[in-house]
């Protein structure tokens, strides 16, 4: 069964359901969980512009790791940096490096037009990852507990 779970989080409230699902799954099999957050930047003609600062990115990871540990799960976390176009690859590579046998993601639902111009990271990860993927359902309760 699952012994090493990677959960990818972003700053949105959707991360709470992904963290809870990863924690619940980890407790079933006594798995270790690693949290990864990609602090994304965008590139334009003149510069690379970060979309969040290092403090914000670290807080997202620390919050998720604390929630998992509160659930009794062995967890750690890391922040990776990259362009928005690289997020799926970075997540997939993090899963491989961690030797994850499960990857938990929280998909963001978009309309078909928006998805055409801005594909979901979860879709891109599913296409390139060699790790089993579990998509966390949307949760209207954004409380961590």
pTM of the predicted model, to two decimals?
0.83
- Token pair for 140: 């209207």
User: Would you list the domain boundaries of the chain?
Assistant: 4-135
In this predicted model, what pLDDT tens digit does every residue of 36-83 receive, in sequence order? Answer: 999 988 888 888 888 898 999 999 999 999 999 999 999 999 999 998
- Token pair for 22: 């990863």
**Helical ranges in 13-142 per DSSP H:** 15-29, 54-70, 87-98, 112-117, 121-128
First to last CA, the chain: 26
CATH architecture of 4-135: 3-Layer(aba) Sandwich (3.40)
d(CA 9, CA 114): 21
């Amino acid at each position: 069964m699952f012994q090493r779970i990677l959960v990818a989080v972003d700053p949105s409230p959707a991360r709470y359901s992904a963290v809870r699902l990863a924690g619940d799954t980890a407790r079933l099999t006594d798995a270790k969980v690693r949290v990864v957050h990609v602090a994304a930047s965008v590139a334009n003609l003149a510069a690379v512009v970060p979309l969040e600062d290092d403090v914000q990115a670290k807080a997202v990871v620390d919050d998720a790791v604390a929630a998992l540990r509160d659930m009794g799960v062995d967890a750690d976390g890391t922040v990776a940096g990259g362009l928005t176009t690289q997020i799926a690859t970075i997540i997939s590579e993090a899963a491989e490096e961690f030797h994850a046998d499960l990857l938990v993601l929280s998909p963001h639902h978009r309309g078909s037009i928006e998805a055409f111009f801005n594909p979901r990271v979860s879709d891109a990860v599913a296409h390139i990852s060699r790790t089993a993927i579990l998509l966390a359902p949307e949760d209207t309760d954004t409380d961590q507990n």
